[in-house]
Structure 1
Amino acid sequence: MSGIPDADILAALLEAARRAGADQADALLVHSASLAVQRRLGAIEQLERSESTDVGLRVFLGNRMAIVSGTDASLSGFAALAERAVAMAQVVPEDSYATLLDAPEPIDAASLDLADEAEPDADALLARAALAEEAALGVQGVTNSEGGSAGWSRGSRALATSRGFFGAYTRSSHSVSATALAGEGTGMQRDYDYASTAFLSDLEDAVAVGRRAGEQAVARLNPVRPKSTKLSVVYHPRVANSLLGHLVGAINGASIARGTSFLKDALGKQILPASMSVMDDPLRPRGMRSRPFDGEGQRGQRRALVENGVLTTWLLDGRSAKQLGLTTTGHAARGTGGPPGPAPTNLWLQPGALSPEALMADIREGLYITELIGMGVNGITGDYSRGAAGFMIRDGKLAEAVSEITIAGKLPEMFLAMTAADDLVYKRGTDAPTLRIDGMTLAGA
């Protein structure tokens, strides 16, 4: 880059759009840098550094909208970029819901504490990856490794609109992971673990991550395929969060406006047990998905999407809000090459009162799921069918490993049948504690 401030670059791009004939416009500038390594059995398998700059321009001609993007943020190319966007807007159909929103001053990004100044070099990342892999290989029963990995990234986003908004923020990420193999030949089993945080000082110890990967792989040895039946299913937190993903997909404003969600008539109604609430907070310090403004410059806020079991809101951006006659909830997400669309930020299901052990203590025969396979979920009907692997529960305790099974149900019924444990950890951006759902169908032998 030339050293020109992002605000000046975006101002120049908006001015180019005005000169090209755009009625309104917004522009997004994204810088990113990353370093990733992978080590397998003592040898370096990956050492990759990347840096990029991307720019996107969205223009409006009345109710017509077009978007162009590129990797050249030099001022000399802005006139041609803007002219191309305006030419595209002249030929696309009108969209009465296309809108450029007024936006308030952004929240001070520094208050969210998203940018770690620490930038590890390749040697530091390789050492972290080595610790994770060696810890996994040190677990008795582990016979091979798919490697230990470590990474760092930093990215910045700046957004400006022709209505006077400008905002910018930077976030960082540090990560470590390991994947272990246990057993031999066709009986070999694989499992993994990882950790990722905004700040290096918050990152979990690489040895603990690797050890868990190894222990989990060994535990999966000699799986059986149980008989088909109805039973209680307990979801490990790393797969329990997928249920939250299905829920927020069903309350996405774009799906609601199209009428293609099984929850389209559920606003203000109970969809979870009365003890449960689902929270979304873009302003959590050091959060994996925190941001001071959304893809349209709107401020988000901490809110209960589901409060005491009752659905309180849709996830809305400007367009879906206009379609529904509502106001945006500040959930617009976007890249440089596409329009905004609703998406959650830091999302979690509030924990319950029981430990995971107590949650399953009364289950005579059940299923504990640690891995889900495939995407057999119908967003219109709520039909749910996923391939799965994990362990049987017998008399309240984990028993033999199981694989090659399918679990099935209907999401509206599953949501109302959930019970949450107390082990919520903010790890993935979408987080849930251990969850139990009674009365699900297991399709096995």
Structure 2
Amino acid sequence: MHELQDIVSQEVVLKDIVSECLELAKKSVDAIEVVVKKTRGISVSVRKGVSEYIEFNNDGKLFITVYNNNRKGCAVSTNFSISSIRRTLQSAIMITHFTSSDRYSGLPNYDTLAIDSTLNLDLLHPIIFDINIAADLAISAEIAAYNFDKRIINTEGVAFDSHFSSIVCGNSIGLLNGYSSSLHSLSCCSVAKEKTCMQRDYAFSISRKITHLDSSEHIGKESARRSIDRLFPRKIKTTKSPIIFSSEVAPSLFYNFISAINGDNVYKKSTFLLNKLGKNIFPNFLNIKDYPHISQGLGSKPFDNEGVRTKDNLIVDKGRLISWLLDSYASCKLGFDSTGHAGGVHNLLIEGSGELDLVNLLKYMGKGLLVTELMGSGVNIITGNYSRGVFGFWIENGMIKYPVSEITISGNLKEIFRNIIKIGNDINKNSIIQCGSVLVSEMQISGL
């Protein structure tokens, strides 16, 4: 294990860098915000038992934002020397001479800042960056995939990543705080072949703690199973049908929702949910909550990218939208308080009926489409129009009949959200948006 004290010492060094920058800016700007991040880690990819690449990284970035007469200037540097800090600061100040005055620009309110935050979210579990250990994990997953079935003829690579980061945020009104975290992942993509048909699919696991990753054997076998299940897909006729978004792809629906209620899109009036605050947009059994303080949570953090304290947020209550996602600028524009979402959501929990696993959800649907992969980016957040290429499985009598491909599903997100009738309990833990499979009563399917 890395000595945690070394990482704590790194955090202290970063705080010194931020303090130095704040001190240099005292007489030059009205206000300043400084964020510095340092990341170290290793990435290893293997294929057919041979390492394709091994990458060590030791990266750092310094972000300086200054305000003079309500004019904003930003500059970034990867060099933490005093001379570089001075040049970066001067660049940010120079930019303010060419930007327009904006009365909404400025630092967050002092009362919202994580001045004295001492939350222990248990985010830091680093490991020794050992190439052999990393390669052995990846090779074990690949071997498990090959051994699963003779139809697995290749992999598109098995990758192991391990990184830890320290981030410190400070500003000219008293904030100087930081935290450190780690993240580990293992993924495998298998290629199956039978006769003239070839298909590929993948499995992966992400965790703050390496011992909480799924086993390499499980990841290899799961990727192999999924690839084989996809063999010999069929086309289906154009129709309207119930659709289940599997728990691997269901979070994408709610990423669209997050984008639609993001404060930037709201004040720019570029969202299909513009006038929906306080109104029902989901069925009344559905709640959406953001929990930034879950121990070891993938999205947990004590403060957002501006240093604003994070807190639990109820976003959708019994289907009703009750909160936008706001940073300090958007909150000023819209006349609300910051919700601590500069940088996005944290651990978003989609709470629905939740009593059915995927097997029973398929039985509940009876006949329809199970979507397991989404392709393309045909989503218009301004209108809500939705169109995506998909791969999946046709369901009859609650059972998988055959795989399907070369089809498109479409609709409007307003209707899709309203037409959610069940959410499964098979929660995807590899995403900061945690939800089970989602059953939508009807969508357009374009095929033959």
Q: TM-score range by the shorter chain?
A: over 0.9
Alpha-carbon shift at residue 364 of structure 1 (Å): 4.1
Distance 2:364 2:64 in 1: 57
Alpha-carbon shift at residue 270 of structure 1 (Å): 0.9
Alignment of 1:78-227 (within 5 A): 78-101=85-108, 102=110, 103-109=113-119, 111-140=120-149, 141-183=151-193, 187-227=197-237
Alpha-carbon shift at residue 238 of structure 1 (Å): 0.7
Matched residue type, 1:27: V
Residues 126 and 164 of structure 2 are in contact (CA less than 8 Å); yes or no, is this contact kept in structure 1? no
Alpha-carbon shift at residue 229 of structure 1 (Å): 0.2
Residues 248 and 428 of structure 2 are in contact (CA less than 8 Å); yes or no, is this contact kept in structure 1? no
Which among 366, 390, 395 is matched to residue 388 of structure 1? 390
Aligned to 1:426: 429
Distance 2:367 2:126 in 1: 50
Flag the 1:106–1:298 CA change in 2: closer, same or farther, 3 A: farther
Aligned to 1:413: 415
Which among 300, 319, 324 is matched to residue 314 of structure 1? 324
Aligned to 1:51: 58
The unaligned stretches of length 5 or more in structure 2 are: 1-5
Flag the 1:235–1:180 CA change in 2: closer, same or farther, 3 A: same
Distance 2:103 2:345 in 1: 25
- State the identity %: 31
Alignment of 1:283-432 (within 5 A): 283-333=293-343, 343-351=344-352, 352-418=354-420, 419-432=422-435
Distance 2:294 2:347 in 1: 8
Q: Secondary structure at the match of 2:249?
A: helix
Matched residue type, 2:13: P
Distance 1:365 1:354 in 2: 16
Alpha-carbon shift at residue 184 of structure 1 (Å): 5.2
Residues 37 and 47 of structure 1 are in contact (CA less than 8 Å); yes or no, is this contact kept in structure 2? yes
Distance 2:428 2:50 in 1: 33
Residues 106 and 297 of structure 1 are in contact (CA less than 8 Å); yes or no, is this contact kept in structure 2? no
- Structure 1 position 13 matched with structure 2 position 21: yes
Matched residue type, 1:254: D
- Of residues 277-286 and 349-358 in structure 1, the stretch that sits farther from structure 2 once superposed is 349-358
Alpha-carbon shift at residue 247 of structure 1 (Å): 0.7
Q: Secondary structure at the match of 2:85?
A: helix
What is the root-mean-square deviation of aligned Cα atoms in Å? 1.6
Count of paired positions: 434
Alpha-carbon shift at residue 360 of structure 1 (Å): 2.3
1:373-398 per-residue CA deviation (whole Å, 9 max, x = no partner) reads 00101101111100000100011111
1:67-91 per-residue CA deviation (whole Å, 9 max, x = no partner) reads 0011111123322222221111111
Residues 143 and 184 of structure 1 are in contact (CA less than 8 Å); yes or no, is this contact kept in structure 2? no
Flag the 1:360–1:185 CA change in 2: closer, same or farther, 3 A: closer
Distance 1:403 1:317 in 2: 41
Flag the 1:185–1:67 CA change in 2: closer, same or farther, 3 A: farther
- Of residues 408-417 and 118-127 in structure 1, the stretch that sits farther from structure 2 once superposed is 118-127
1:31-50 per-residue CA deviation (whole Å, 9 max, x = no partner) reads 00110101101111011101
Matched residue type, 1:388: V
Alpha-carbon shift at residue 437 of structure 1 (Å): 0.4
Distance 1:124 1:114 in 2: 22
Distance 2:347 2:408 in 1: 29
Q: Secondary structure at the match of 2:145?
A: helix
Flag the 1:234–1:113 CA change in 2: closer, same or farther, 3 A: same
Residues 369 and 391 of structure 1 are in contact (CA less than 8 Å); yes or no, is this contact kept in structure 2? yes
Alpha-carbon shift at residue 228 of structure 1 (Å): 0.4
Residues 198 and 286 of structure 1 are in contact (CA less than 8 Å); yes or no, is this contact kept in structure 2? yes
- Of residues 355-364 and 271-280 in structure 1, the stretch that sits farther from structure 2 once superposed is 355-364
Aligned to 2:3: none
Residues 141 and 218 of structure 2 are in contact (CA less than 8 Å); yes or no, is this contact kept in structure 1? yes
1:199-239 per-residue CA deviation (whole Å, 9 max, x = no partner) reads 11211111101110000000000000100000000111010
1:237-276 per-residue CA deviation (whole Å, 9 max, x = no partner) reads 0100101101111110111101111111111111111111
- Of residues 179-188 and 46-55 in structure 1, the stretch that sits farther from structure 2 once superposed is 179-188
Aligned to 1:435: 438
Q: Secondary structure at the match of 1:400?
A: strand
Distance 1:104 1:349 in 2: 27
- Structure 1 position 444 matched with structure 2 position 447: yes
Aligned to 2:240: 230
Displacement over 3 Å in runs of 4+: 1-4
Distance 1:355 1:81 in 2: 53
Q: Secondary structure at the match of 1:204?
A: coil
Matched residue type, 2:166: S
Alpha-carbon shift at residue 185 of structure 1 (Å): 7.7
Aligned to 1:338: none
Aligned to 1:339: none
Q: Secondary structure at the match of 2:332?
A: helix
Matched residue type, 2:395: I
Alpha-carbon shift at residue 100 of structure 1 (Å): 0.5
Q: Normalising by the residue count of structure 2, what TM-score does the alignment of the two structures yield?
A: 0.94
The unaligned stretches of length 5 or more in structure 1 are: 334-342
Matched residue type, 2:272: F
